Amino acid sequence: MSGVVIELALWRRLTAELLGSAFLAAVVIGSGIAAPQFSPGNVGLELFENAAATGAGL
């Protein structure tokens, strides 16, 4: 019985890790796409927007 509980807990942890990584990747990629549209030609502001969006996503 104990092995089943450990296997279930491992499955839940792996699923949570996968979902968290997917959401973080979506935030980072999305901010990278959106930043040039918000401030075209201003690289410093684009980097700040990327950092702010990633920090908010975390």
* pLDDT (mean) for 13-21: 94
Q: Residue 1 has what DSSP assignment?
A: -
**Boundaries of every domain in the chain:** 19-58
| Residue 22, pLDDT above cutoff 70 | yes
| Residue 7, pLDDT above cutoff 80 | no
Query: In this predicted structure, what is the pLDDT of residue 1?
Result: 55
**Which residues does 34 contact at the CB level (< 8 Å), separation at least 6?**
49, 53
pTM for the predicted model, two decimal places: 0.73
Q: Could you read off the pLDDT of 33-56 as tens digits, one per residue?
A: 998 898 888 999 999 999 999 899
